[in-house]
């Protein structure tokens, strides 16, 4: 098997949403590590494929213990825009780092729609995450209504622009800016494809993702080093399954997947990671 390595690493992240208590988290990880263990499977490293689990807050600590030294990253689903103080119910970036979280989702459509997070809150959360040393996966995506009136590209452009507004005002920006493509990833998740079993056709997802990349280019050009937008990973999310991932990952600009429902079963999630490897590999017949 010959591995074709893209310039950008691939990331397959499993967002568990409000599922799995501590016991279930531990059981999942034990099972999952039997199926996928990046430390002992060099193909994945050679193909530049990374995996991440994103459990609920209460399962993070248990997951961190199980995942330490496996090479599998640990993410959180949300963070507070605040650092500390009288903010009942909130969890800070530092608290997430303390339990071993490397990455946090920002602006998932469920946070935007159900919990009414607006673009300015998302902007504050993104700055807080990056400024505190966490990596962030910024989510964006359009509703069915927006798509039906051909508003997808404008909508997403605006989401990106507002999320990144004044990002260079983060105190330690010069440090962050040097490694921005490691710190920031984007997930394009059309809302109508999330949890519905309907996926966005791969060429269309790729087209939107290319537009996101050119928007990143124009927003980041004055703030960061040249070409950074080409290095930033952009994932697709929305009903990704083991039988959709290969086709999705073959697209030029899709660098991985943010997986909800299909990340809840070790077998499905490991098969998605295997599919990503397949897509990045070509058989040479020996
Ligand atoms: P889904 O969720 O894979 O269940 O559609 C994706 C997401 O919300 O990140």
> Half-sphere exposure of 57 toward its Cβ, with a 13 Å CA cutoff?
10
Q: What are phi and psi of 148, to 5 degrees?
A: -70, -20
pLDDT of residue 41: 80
pLDDT of residue 7: 81
Three-state DSSP at 74 gives strand
Using CA atoms, how far apart are residues 233 and 7, in angstroms rounded to an integer?
A: 10
Distance 260 CA to ligand 1 centre (A): 4
* Among the listed residues 114, 92, 34, 41, the one whose alpha carbon sits nearest the alpha carbon of residue 66: 34
Using CA atoms, how far apart are residues 229 and 226, in angstroms rounded to an integer?
A: 8
Using CA atoms, how far apart are residues 26 and 260, in angstroms rounded to an integer?
A: 18
pLDDT of residue 285: 35
- Farthest-apart Cα atoms in the chain, separation: 63
pLDDT of residue 5: 52
4 is written with which tokens?
Answer: 């074709």
- Active-site residue among 108, 110, 142, 177? 108
Query: Who contacts 106 (Cβ-Cβ below 8 Å, separation ≥6)?
Result: 78, 79, 122, 125, 126, 129, 136, 137, 138, 139, 163
Using CA atoms, how far apart are residues 278 and 276, in angstroms rounded to an integer?
A: 5
CB 55 within 8 A of CB 148: no
Whether 108 is a known active-site residue: answer: yes
Distance 241 CA to ligand 1 centre (A): 10
CA-263 nearest atom, ligand 1: 3
CB 181 within 8 A of CB 232: yes
| Best of 105, 192, 194, 196 for a ligand 1 pocket test (most atoms within 8 Å of beta carbon) | 194
* Among the listed residues 263, 188, 245, the one whose alpha carbon sits nearest the alpha carbon of residue 17: 263
Give buried/exposed letters for 154-173 (b at 16+ CB in 10 A, else e).
Answer: ebbbebbebbbbebeebeeb
Whether 82 is a known active-site residue: answer: no
Distance 259 CA to ligand 1 centre (A): 5
**Rounded average pLDDT per 10-residue block, the chain, 286 residues:** 68 98 98 91 87 98 96 97 98 98 98 98 98 98 97 98 97 94 98 94 98 97 92 97 97 97 98 95 46
Question: 81 vs 12, 78, 105, 106, 136, CA distance in Å?
Answer: 26, 9, 12, 10, 13
Residues with CB under 6 A from ligand 1: 15, 189, 194-195, 237-240, 258-262
């Amino acid at each position: 098997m010959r591995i074709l390595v893209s310039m950008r690493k691939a990331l397959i992240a499993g967002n568990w949403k409000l599922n799995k208590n501590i016991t279930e988290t531990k059981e999942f990880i034990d099972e999952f590590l039997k199926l996928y263990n990046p430390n002992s499977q060099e193909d994945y490293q050679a193909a530049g494929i990374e995996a991440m689990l994103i459990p609920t807050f209460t399962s993070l600590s248990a997951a961190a213990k199980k995942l330490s030294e496996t090479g599998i990253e640990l993410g959180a689903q949300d963070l507070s825009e605040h650092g500390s103080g009288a903010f009942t119910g909130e969890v800070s970036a530092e608290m997430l780092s303390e339990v071993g979280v490397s990455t946090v989702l920002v602006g998932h459509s469920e946070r935007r729609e159900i919990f009414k997070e607006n673009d300015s809150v998302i902007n504050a959360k993104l700055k807080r995450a990056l400024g505190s040393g966490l990596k962030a996966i910024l989510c964006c995506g359009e509703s069915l209504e927006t798509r039906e009136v051909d508003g997808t590209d404008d909508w997403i452009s605006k989401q990106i622009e507002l999320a990144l507004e004044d990002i260079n005002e983060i105190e330690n920006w010069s440090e962050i800016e040097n490694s921005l493509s490691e710190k920031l990833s984007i997930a394009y998740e059309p809302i109508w494809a999330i949890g519905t079993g309907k996926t966005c056709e791969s060429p269309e997802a790729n087209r939107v993702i290319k537009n996101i990349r050119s928007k990143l280019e124009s927003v980041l050009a004055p703030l960061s080093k040249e070409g950074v937008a080409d290095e930033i990973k952009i994932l697709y999310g929305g009903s990704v399954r083991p039988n959709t991932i290969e086709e999705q990952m073959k697209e030029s600009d899709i660098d991985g997947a943010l997986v909800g429902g299909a990340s809840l079963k070790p077998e499905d999630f490991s098969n998605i990671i295997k599919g990503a490897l397949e897509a990045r590999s070509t058989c040479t017949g020996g």
